């Protein structure tokens, strides 16, 4: 419980202290949620014994040290304050206004019953909000498609569970450099400023990070002006006056923090708030780490697929990728052209300058092939010094024009390890439908045209010409 509970009384008839004590005992034993009935009984007693206008009762719920420890019977203006302690912990203050008084034995019983009821309400509230943390984290995290979405889910749950007006989260990578800085319930301009000012900065340079490193519990701050924070950091960018910083700890240490709080007022964080923040600190890192693992698995799958369909030396699609691209193009409604390229003089470069120079020549030739490829084309390396280009939708004339441009580009000198290397290229062209109707026929026709171009050395040749 974290707000003030106020009850106004009215006269319901005379009563004595013993009657109030019996009523308090009966209520505490029979009512599942006795706090409000207990307050009503006290109000009735004060109204009956002290008089109209003197029976106001206010119960202030608080966390440890959040409310000054008032001595029994001390006054605050026209009010008398009775501290409410449960197991030695201050859980609230009972204020009696308008000259209202309770005899010492009655006051002791009232304090006991109200403190126990308040503690029970706090426990129930803590259980409810802790359950909310678990269920909402599971619900939102299960829908998160990547690490950023999981981080936003954690920030949203933190805002809900702590009833905060503003919440944000940051995650760090090697060297505590911030890789994510995301907020919820923020204007777009403030969200953009948060990312612009935070990403790439070291979290370890912040006093708030140092406090999280030093203590396992969340960092609870009721007045941000009393605690050192980084100039232009999270707290100042969000404009927080009171905040809770929830550490996100993985097996190898802190990986970030969720920060939530208030921008319009200073706030007293209750014992329930603190326990809920601890629950967040226990469960939220699991969400973040699971998202990291899923993201790493997807990246590994993408890498394995890339390796399966790309040439390691040049980075071009490989033979498998070429066959797939050809099959997809032939399944389409339009024409398809295939260019096969053999680098002339490649063996001499290997023999005279070494295999390292040959590899560099292949990389340079692959880049020229990429540059010459029109939009939608698939350049590839088949193996050795053989390159290829698939042109979906290209007819014979367009394909031959691309082949001639490519032939000229590949025939220009290369700078290989400081030496000028001049090679040529033999280019064969085949189209479908025309010279072939399937992948095997198209490859055979282009290969025959390429070898004819190599023999005749008159430039690119089209199949059947």
On whether the CB atoms of residues 298 and 273 are closer than 8 A, the answer is no
Domain boundaries, the chain: 4-127, 144-298, 319-462
pLDDT at 325: 93
Check pLDDT > 50 for residue 69. no
For the domain made up of 319-462, give the CATH fold: Alpha-Beta Plaits (3.30.70)
**With bands split at pLDDT 50, 70 and 90, how would you rate the model's confidence at 75?**
low
- Average pLDDT of the chain? 84
d(CA 430, CA 394): 10
Q: Is the peptide bond before 438 cis (omega within 30 degrees of 0)?
A: no
pLDDT at 362: 94
pLDDT at 70: 41
Check pLDDT > 50 for residue 5. no
- Summarize the confidence of residues 140-163 as an average pLDDT: 86
Contacts 24+ apart (CB under 8 A), 199-203: 201/177, 202/175, 202/176, 202/177, 202/178, 203/170, 203/172, 203/176, 203/177, 203/178, 203/254, 203/256, 203/257
pTM, full prediction: 0.63
CA-nearest of 377, 256, 358, 272 to 314 is 358
On whether the CB atoms of residues 403 and 339 are closer than 8 A, the answer is yes
Identify the burial level of 246 via C-beta atoms within 10 angstroms of its C-beta, where 0-12 means exposed, 13-18 middle and 19 or more buried: buried
What percent of the chain lies above the pLDDT cut of 90? Answer: 42
The angle formed by the CA atoms of residues 40, 45 and 50, to the nearest 5 degrees, is 130
**With bands split at pLDDT 50, 70 and 90, how would you rate the model's confidence at 60?**
low
**CATH class as words, domain 144-298:** alpha beta
Helix residue spans in 74-170 (DSSP H): 104-143, 147-161
**With bands split at pLDDT 50, 70 and 90, how would you rate the model's confidence at 12?**
very low
Q: Which comes out higher in pLDDT, residue 48 or 318?
A: 318
Between strands 336-344 and 178-184, the pairing is: unpaired
On whether the CB atoms of residues 177 and 170 are closer than 8 A, the answer is no
Check pLDDT > 50 for residue 228. yes
**With bands split at pLDDT 50, 70 and 90, how would you rate the model's confidence at 178?**
very high
pLDDT at 368: 95
Give tens-digit pLDDT for 327-365. 999 988 889 999 999 999 888 888 888 889 999 999 999
What percent of the chain lies above the pLDDT cut of 70? Answer: 89
Mean pLDDT check: name the lowest of 59-68, 233-242, 257-266.
59-68
The angle formed by the CA atoms of residues 227, 66 and 260, to the nearest 5 degrees, is 50
């Amino acid at each position: 419980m974290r707000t003030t509970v106020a009850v106004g009384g009215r006269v319901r008839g005379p009563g004595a202290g013993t009657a109030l004590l019996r009523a308090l005992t009966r209520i505490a034993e029979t009512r599942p949620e006795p706090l409000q009935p207990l307050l009503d009984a006290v109000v009735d007693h004060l109204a009956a014994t002290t008089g109209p206008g003197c029976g106001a009762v206010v119960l202030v719920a608080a966390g440890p040290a959040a409310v000054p420890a008032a001595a029994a019977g001390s006054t605050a203006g026209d009010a008398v304050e009775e501290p409410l302690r449960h197991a030695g912990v201050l859980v609230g203050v009972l204020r009696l206004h308008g000259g209202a008084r309770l005899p010492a034995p009655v006051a002791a019983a009232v304090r006991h019953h109200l403190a126990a009821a308040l503690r029970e309400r706090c426990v129930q509230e803590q259980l409810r909000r802790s359950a909310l943390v678990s269920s909402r984290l599971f619900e939102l995290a299960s829908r998160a498609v990547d690490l950023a979405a999981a981080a936003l889910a954690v920030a949203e749950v933190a805002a809900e569970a702590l009833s905060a007006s503003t919440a944000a989260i940051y995650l760090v990578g090697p060297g505590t450099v911030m890789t994510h800085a995301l907020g919820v319930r923020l204007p777009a301009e403030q969200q953009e400023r948060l990312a612009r000012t935070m990403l790439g900065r070291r979290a370890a340079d912040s006093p708030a990070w140092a406090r999280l490193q030093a203590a396992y519990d969340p960092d609870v701050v009721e007045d941000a002006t009393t605690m050192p924070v980084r100039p232009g950091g999270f707290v100042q960018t969000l404009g927080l006056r009171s905040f809770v910083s929830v550490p996100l700890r993985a097996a190898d240490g802190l990986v970030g923090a969720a920060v939530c709080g208030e921008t319009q007022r200073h706030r007293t964080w209750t014992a329930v708030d603190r326990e809920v923040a601890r629950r967040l600190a226990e469960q939220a890192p699991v969400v973040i780490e699971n998202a990291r693992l899923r993201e790493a698995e997807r990246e590994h799958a993408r890498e394995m697929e890339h390796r399966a369909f790309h040439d390691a030396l040049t980075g071009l699609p490989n033979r498998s990728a070429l066959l797939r691209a050809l099959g997809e193009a032939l399944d389409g409604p339009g024409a398809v052209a295939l260019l096969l390229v053999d680098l002339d003089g490649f063996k001499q470069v290997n023999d005279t300058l070494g295999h390292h120079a040959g590899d560099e020549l292949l990389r340079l030739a692959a880049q020229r092939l990429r540059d010459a490829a029109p939009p939608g084309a698939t350049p590839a390396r088949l193996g050795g010094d053989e390159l290829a280009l698939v042109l979906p939708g290209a007819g014979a004339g367009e394909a031959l024009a691309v082949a001639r441009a490519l032939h000229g580009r590949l025939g220009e000198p290369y700078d290989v390890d400081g030496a000028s290397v001049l090679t040529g290229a033999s280019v064969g062209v085949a189209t479908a439908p025309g010279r072939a109707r399937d992948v095997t026929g198209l490859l055979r026709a282009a290969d025959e045209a390429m070898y004819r171009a190599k023999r005749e050395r008159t430039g690119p040749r089209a199949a059947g010409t």
